[in-house]
Structure 1
């Protein structure tokens, strides 16, 4: 507490708490008496007489009565010590608490055992009424000190807590939980009530101190009034003395006036001498003996530029006067010598000993003439060196010229910051003429209606008056209607005593410069096509919301929007039409996203929207639907209506991340997912998809290392004839032998490889390894063995498949008859003419061509006739379902069709004798599957070949 003695406050607080507690304890005792009476009466009315309850009731009433009497008579105000009263209140609280606890024990633990029709539940109700109501009264009357409430509170609740611990709670669990919560709430309320009471006591104590201080101030004021009366009496006495002194002073003034008149006359006599002294102060007297043509200069009292005391001036021969000034000098001198002027006066330049020309001002008069012919004989005068003044004047003229010609606004202010001069450029800047500006205060010509403008002007004036300068950039609105961005510079001009006499200001017009900066900023941060922020400004603004405003912005949605099938539409509309579509789309996005924080055009047809999420705003789904509806109306481009759809990807801050790059990347991933599903939909980023994506990235990275480190190996699965179970050949299958994860199956890495150029590298590796293995088997005597390998669409379309095959055949000296290329149906869909040409060239190398996974892809019978296919492979999904009535006809139809077209039929995934027998009955040619062998390593495949090859 400021200005309050802490110790006094503590004593006051303690005394007030005791005094108030002695008052409230009376009402508390009466309240407990009422509660116990209520319990006793209710029990008696409903359950009859109980001796135990009667004893407790009488004992409680006696204790309350005794406590009430002692409190009323023993602890009357002013008859007790605070310490004794405190102990008494505490003893009353703990006694009443024990009696209430005893009552709870009697009601809940005793009466149900001895009174018929009175069960534990009724005892629990009455005991809780006793406890709850008593604590409420305690909360109301024992709020002076928390210790009083606690002394009562803990004994009261002990039986209740004991009942919860010792008894089975199954039937009363909810009741006990509820009552515990009530008791805790009462305890918290008690704490808060005590704090509030203490604060009220504190306020009362402060008020008391203020009252005492006010009374003390009144006493001091009374004393001051008494002293003032005494001082007034003294001042009256002094006034009388002053009147006496005034009369004496008036007499003396008359005497001094006479003396001053005499002194004034003397001063007038000396005034002539003083004027002459002023004229010659700092001047060099000279006299000219015209007859002897000699000028004498007196330099004892004033330093001049000339060194000798006398010089001879011959106007006919040579003169120290500047050639440009000789004419003027001689003209004035001759006029005076001839008596045409009262005195000679001329300003000219003379050459000094430093070989520099100095300006001087001469004034002279002829004092002696020849009485016969009136020719001048002697002339006297004074010379003043005005070289510095002349140079200063020239500089002033130059400064004035600069002031007038300067391309900056220049003004001069007096010590009150009022205009005393301005240059023409400042007139042009402000739009006011010089006559209007003079006398006005510096900002009086500006608009001062707005509070912020007035505050800025006051701040500038204060800084100029306190520091003597101001230099900053301001935007000013003049009463003439001009609004300019100015560089405002003011400096104080001080005299020799460091007193400010004027202020000079220089104002530069930065309006055009700022407009150029704004245009450059616009070009840097905005897309000129759509007038929307570009990618750079978008990332900057998003960073501001995520980092700088993270305390105010709790949740954001980042929407990435893209036009479906924009490329073909843009090619149709040409560049101007595509640009017009983007402009119209941007305008609709502005109108439909008026509540968005930010809308940007990133590039091409990519837009981004930043939206703040809260319970007061529409959900992100509603917002996206609103965007969809706004784009459903056709766009009129070049007189044609075009319907477009968009795909949107959404990421959330901070749910999906707190970094701008992550949020953009996740929204982009969601957008790609929406477009992959056909577009015209909204997808919200899924964290699980990111986990899978990261896993794919790790696999791609490791796969690149695997190719480089030769971790890939080729396994060979045998293919056998149905009729004799003899080996026909193998299928080459790629495997990844990871150094730490072991053998990785192809379905884990081939799909990822097909999305990159890695599949072509893997395909090249398989072709070379297969050719190498065929060479080894041929050297062992197995000439007719055929090894098939898979070729994907990327290998066909990249254009280097034939070169790889030719290189393998030539390097390992094998025939194309030993190779079979398995091509999936999906490889035949795009660029069919190119694929057909490649397959025909493959056939020219006598290489077999098989159509793999027939019936699972883009199945078309035209493939079988359009392309040079030798073998038809029945997918294992059909073979595995042999035995199902609806599947067997499909297998039968495929085999029959292949046979009719003269193709070789190969069944994949044969695993049971039933499947083998069924396919054999249909006269399928070749079988492949685990029933015969799983894929084998190079050595195991060689062993199998030796065992099953029929020469």
Structure 2
């Protein structure tokens, strides 16, 4: 091979150095190069694509450095290696020398040094290969068992091996240098047409010569041999013929063997035709099956036509996963050794069978080579299935978590598995030979065991729960299955017991039973258990002619705790409450939790109302001490409703329902109290439920409308804006005032949808008036506490402005003082985000709450509204006058606009003007009116 076409593998972990070496190689004409960056990949690459030369870095990453990789490669391939190194460390060089490298090149690699090293290494490797090839050829010729003679293109003999010399009875000196025709003519062949000229011509035309029949060779001692002749050309590296080789094989003994074999095969065919195993006999020289027994068709599902051109016809049907097994079998045959293997075959119909093949090579003694192969194949599918079942059974026996114990018919233990020892504590040595009654716990009487064995004798099996005693004396429940093992004559010979420790199952069942009937957080009875106990209490009270009481408790403002401190804090609060509640009731009473912040209590055997009132007050008193949640101190209150059996109802459903109604009545009274149920509550409850439904329908049927109350500038008397106020025109009952439905809407959460509708309608109307020429008009919309705290109010406002096209500076959002101060720290971000939209912010009902001036200073508000309660008695009431003055002064100091609502007299208006109030609204100018009426007011200006 020319050095420029050489394949070179570069093993270098630094990609820049590797690329540099590859570029330099290409500059020198070496285009067939590969790069790997570690020793393991280098070994794998050489195994796939052996290169002509390797440039190997000594220091490589991973578990294999360059020297180790070179050592592995040298063991399998004679490939020249040049080491690349940045060091001249003697330890490295000593280790590297063991691998017989061609050269060392220091990094960075110089192109001239690289080219010189490559040229020397490749030429040296080429010369070594040529010497090896010549030595190999000579060794092959000398050791070849067949008679060989080699002559050159001039016809002169250049080599004859010892086998040929022995066959012809000549010395090497008698043959060397003779013309090949002289050597052949020394012997008389029985074919006159065979001569040297025709032989060489045939070789040149066909690339070789192979006789189709035997020739008779006449030897010097007048003996004859039956021979076969073959010949071929010999080429050099340039594919030019430089000689010929003739092979002469003595075929006499083979012919005698074949005659004897034919006779023995005839007898053999008669024998194997009656056995179920497949017998295959192959001629390995011709690679043909010369005999296959009739069983082949039965096992493989098809006939095999003879002669079949394959030594091993069964190979085509081998299951894919077992092909490696058969490959190993064939390798063993190459070593002339008998071998056997079990593998699967896939029949033409797709059915998979297991077969066991035993192969025996038949050796021709004179030549020591295989010329026949005998294979016996058995279908072992049934045996394999049996083996697998036995293996599976043994594995199950040893690895199952169920204990297994086998006794004889006298109940003597004869075998146990590992799980038996794990469950009982007895080792196999301790328990074998003992009576099974050793495991009895003493918790079952004699009749139990008598009935058990009577059933086994009758039915052959028994299954059930038994409590047994362990070696350490503990008892545990077992689920046991006992079966009888019979002999063929149906006689019982053994009993086998399989059992599982069901302690954890029973504990889990008890735990599940508890969890199914108790609240996981407090441990109180859940709704299911509470209802069952209430049912029982009603029956008992009926029999004893006493009362039973139900107290339903709902925490006030529990959602604020969750929202401000997190749900974990809320759970902690509920646990603390549960601990306090346990001290309020007797052992026979029931504490329950219905979910969320609702608790329910059952008081049994109530003698009088005072008793249950005392318990309710005791529960109320548990809230007097603040709760410590983390680092926070939390003050809580609760509202409770009470219903009594039999005066309020005689069923679980009624008593719980009426306690719930009473609890809502307590909330209406101001919370932090309890109320007993009466029938009027029920009527009010039904009315509220009906109104809640009508609210939803009212919005769907466009029953709501907006009225607008003008807001005037005190100095000029002109309308600067208006407050949008909702009205409900019910089709049956007429106009319903806001005070009758707004609290219910807030309580039910419907205020969120209603508020969104108000906001959208108000913005739409304001934009319409702007388009009609009333530019600069501002609309004020009230936000409820629920809207502000529990909806994404910023997104709602933004959507309304976008949808209606109203500029944000003409929308004013009014938020009550109490809503802001309840969650002052949380609302700041919301106010800032609203202000960022460009809208104006106003505090409604200012002065009625408990504002912190520090918070007020931090709120991004634009306006304060003086509540009507401070305006009603102006200017005569000194306290109201002082409050109004203070609010105006405060607003001015914070650079805020101030407006007063509820102005009905000229005196009130004059007083407010004198104190510097900016705006007013009230009946003095106009009540809230429809959009049409408001438009007329605008036109009058």
TM-score bucket of the superposed structures, by smaller chain? 0.3 to 0.5
Give the TM-score of the pair, scaled to structure 2. Answer: 0.41
Give the TM-score of the pair, scaled to structure 1. Answer: 0.41
Structure holding more helix per residue = 1
Structure holding more strand per residue = 2
Higher relative contact order (CA 8 A, sep 6+): 1
The structure with the larger Rg is 1
